[in-house]
Structure 1
Amino acid sequence: MLSLCKALQSVKSPHPGDEVSEGISEDTSTMYESGLTQLLSLLNDCDKVSDESHLAVAHAVITGAGHCGKHYWTSTVSRQIANDIISRLIDLTNSGSVQQLLAGGDKADGSRVLATVLLLIREKLTKEKWKEYPIHKHALVWCIKHLKHPNVSPYLDTFLPATLMMLDDYTDYHRILALGLASHIVCNVDSTELRWYNRADVIYQAIKPLLYGSAPNVSNAVHTCLLHLLPVLDAYHTDIPAKPNKSSEVFELLINSLHMESNLAAKKVYAFYVSKYIELLGIFCVRHMKLLLTVLISCIEDSYFPETSDTQRYALKSLATLITHAWPRIPSHKDSILKCLVRVVSDLCTSSTELPQDKGTLSQLSEVSQCFKLLQTACPEVEEHYKALMSDCEHAGLIHCLKCCFS
């Protein structure tokens, strides 16, 4: 296995740099391709892996995993060779998949391989020097994402510290990378186990600062992760009044951010997640009813530019979700909701005598129609208002939206 180790050493770890840089020189790329080709050739010459060769296999796994993704040190050719290396390792270890190669199973002793891989990675990814070893870092990411329940739990003590270390970094790249790992861990570890030793709360406290003033792409990753994490932290009991919890805390912050945000890209991200948090909170979203309705109506009515049409559509979807889940409180707010829906139909239709033809506007009118229908279900008394509007008004768009309530 000495020649195999030499081949592994020929694939140098790239110089630490900007993870989103455009690429490396052609000579360096050729060097990586040559090293990977040499490694693949040696693996192809092997018939099987002996019990004493786990260290060499672990190095090969790290090398292949670190090069099979799209990174600044990889090329199309090197990624293909790296994937071939992983496939060859699966064959040599009699594994049926990457997960079996890592975690073991009926046909492979993968758990021993993964333990060696993690030991080698942990030596490099220290708090002071982890950025100097991007191949090891991405090999760890690759290992985590290829493990599913129940194979993630035994390695939490290695996975969580590395994830939290990247999450604490100042670059958006590492934050998004860490948030993706945190989501994967939460989805593939039992809720009870995540609550042991306050692990779930530690993850939440690490994510919480990113709720304030993050870039839109970071905010998107933050809320995706929190929607997986919050149900683990909050146990809902629908038969008794719920006390404010972390879901409620995050939701209040979200709607305040949506209300105050001036950046259109960030506003669109916040608006997209409002309906998902309403579904998560259920009837308990009524705790935020006054502010929530104010914010949603503002987003629906203040969409003057094409760039804000997505925000308006997400707000309409959130309004429909709110009416569905908080229907006992809707009668108290039916007048403001009805006025808002009539105004938005008037704004969307440039002509009062014919319907718009573009698909985007028709899609938004469909969302408005759904809101009219749900409002009628929650408040049967608005049916008289609908009939009055249809008889007294000749606006084609409004009549089109209201007809769905009587079909």
Structure 2
Amino acid sequence: MGPDGYRESPPREGSSFPGRWPSSALGQAFSQILHQFAGQESRRGKASNAALRDLSALLEAKECDQLFEGSDTSLLGMPEMLGQVAKALGKYAAPPEGPEGGGDRHSEVAEKAAAVGLLFLKLLRKVETAKNSLVCPAWKAGLRHLAGPIYIFAVTHNLEQPWTSPKSQGVAGQVLALLLQVTECGSVAGFLHGENEDEKGRFTAVMGLLKPDLNKDSWKNNPATKHVFSWTLQKVTRPWLSQHLERVLPPSLLISDDYQTENKILGVHCLHHIVLNVPAADLLQYNRAQVLYHALFNHLYTREHHHIQAVLLCLLDLFPILEKALHWKGDAARPTTHCDEVLQLILMHMEPEHRLLLRRTYARNLPAFVKRVPCRLVVLLKALLKLICDVARDSSLTPESVKSALLEEATDCLILLDRCSQGQVKGLLAKIPQSCEDSKVGNYIRRVQQVSEGAP
């Protein structure tokens, strides 16, 4: 039966398309195609192949003004219908779930994706023709419903994955390029957040389509979902990402909390992107930064060096946000910071670690903790000097051996602090020996200066 020969019929049971069908012959033709995609699993294969052929014939036979005709208040128009068809095509070409979906099924998915991609190219060319035509003003509505599903399809099959082939990647790349051309966007980032700060992008629409597949019960149903989300998230940066924080933070935490190392690392990369591209004030609001810290801290007990590396890099960028409002006064005990907790755990794990790759990962990141030291120079110096003065003047029954050990350790810490700060401690202590009334304290300070001067 040709593309114009479909008989009017009510929606079939199991159809995913809501509402009433357009009464036109073209609307009924698309309705039948949707029914074929929504058929039972046992007969979906042949029906879907037939649907692809029918859809191709429809796109070739119809003019753009027919494809993008509008809708009234009671009937769903062609723009909405085309959006449903685009979603059905994307679902048809989606990779299978789980390990049983490998091998031959991945090859089958790549073939399906290539066929669907060619249909999307035809459809986008129809949109472009309509855009350049004065007799088809409804193309904007059509593009609004098509852009999100087509983008998700293109990203799913554009990157090298187990379910892609060079052919399917090539077709998906063409689809993405044509989508950007039709939407007049110079980049994927522009497509998502808008070409400027005043323009509304399509990130919200894309996340709306991904949301049903990004909850704890469904995010593993489609193995492409996590990659589409991660890749899309990485394209949205400052100042646009902050307005979408509530949409992107929960799925990032969800993926990072998985038992598989691959997913843990992917989720940590997502969290790191959020830390780098959302203002500190927004992350501190509603205790979000603390939630991030505790989620990341739990990852430090893993034994996989790639995982540890990703977590430490994220934590190092999170520390300044967490400690932004931290003010310590010298007359009180200095509180243990998040940076201190992580450093203590790293040193504890590193000391007995016999796996070289993991040990090297710990060692590689230690200098970053040292380089945070100069900004705390005055705070640390006051704390160490107070310790030396208190111990030197202590008249309690504490054994002298204990006092001597404490003074030696505190002096060594001052020497290390001086080296970490490129000799700034020596300069700050220069006048203390002459004015210090306690000769014992003065001797320890002179020792710091002498050792620092002789250091390479």
Corresponding residue for residue 319 of structure 2: 230
Does residue 278 of structure 2 align to residue 162 of structure 1? no
1:4-403 matches, within 5 Å, as: 5-6=84-85, 9-11=88-90, 12-17=93-98, 25-47=106-128, 48=131, 49-106=139-196, 110-111=200-201, 113-235=202-324, 241=330, 243-282=335-374, 284=376, 323-325=419-421, 327=423, 379-381=452-454
Higher relative contact order (CA 8 A, sep 6+): 1
- Report what 1:308 is aligned to: none
Cα distance in 2 between the residues matched to 1:134 and 1:78: 17
State the match for 1:356 in structure 2: none
Q: Secondary structure at the match of 1:260?
A: coil
2: CA distance, partners of 1:379 / 1:259 = 27
Q: How much does 1:34 deviate?
A: 1.9
Instruction: Give the Å deviation of 1:322.
Output: 8.5
Q: Residues 240 and 142 from structure 1, CA distance in 2 versus in 1: closer, same or farther, beyond 3 angstroms?
A: same
Larger proportion of helix: 1
SS of aligned partner of 1:280: coil
The alignment's C-alpha RMSD in Å is 3.6
Aligned residues: 310
| Paired residue type of 2:122 | S
Q: How much does 1:328 deviate?
A: 6.8
Matched letter for residue 104 of structure 1: G
Q: Which letter does structure 2 place at the counterpart of 1:13?
A: A
CA contact (8 A) 1:8 1:39 kept: no
Q: Tell me the amino acid that sits aligned with residue 107 of structure 2.
A: E
For residues 21 and 173 of structure 1, do their structure 2 counterparts lie closer, same or farther at Cα, with a shift above 3 Å needed?
farther
Question: Against the structure 1 CA distance between its residues 162 and 85, is the aligned structure 2 distance closer, same or farther, given a 3 Å change threshold?
Answer: same
SS for the counterpart of 2:366 is helix
Q: Residues 4 and 322 (structure 1 numbering): CA distance in 2 closer, same or farther, change over 3 Å?
A: farther
Shift of 1:23: 8.8
Which structure's CA Rg is the greater one?
Answer: 2
**What's the CA shift for 1:235?**
2.5
Q: Aligned letter for 2:337?
A: N
Distance 1:215 1:22 in 2: 28
Q: 1:376 to 1:68 in 2, by over 3 A?
A: farther
Identity of aligned residues (%): 24
Mark the CA change 1:150 to 1:258 in structure 2 (over 3 Å): closer, same or farther. Answer: same
Q: Does structure 2 retain, via aligned residues, the 8 Å contact 1:8–1:35? A: no
The alpha carbon displacement at 1:326 in A equals 7.4
Q: TM-score, normalised by structure 1?
A: 0.67
Task: Evaluate the alpha carbon distance shift between residue 161 and residue 7 of structure 1 in structure 2; reply closer, same or farther with a 3 A threshold.
Answer: closer
Please give the per-residue CA displacement for 1:213-232, whole angstroms capped at 9, x wherever unaligned.
33111101111111111111
Structure 2 distance, partners of 1:379, 1:205, is 39
Q: Counterpart of 1:351?
A: none
Unmatched 5+ stretches in structure 2 = 1-78, 132-138, 385-414, 427-447
Per-residue CA shift, 1:4-61, capped at 9, x if unaligned? 7545533422112259978954333222222223212321332145135322211111
Give the direction of change, closer, same or farther, for the CA distance of 1:124–1:237 in structure 2 (3 Å limit): closer
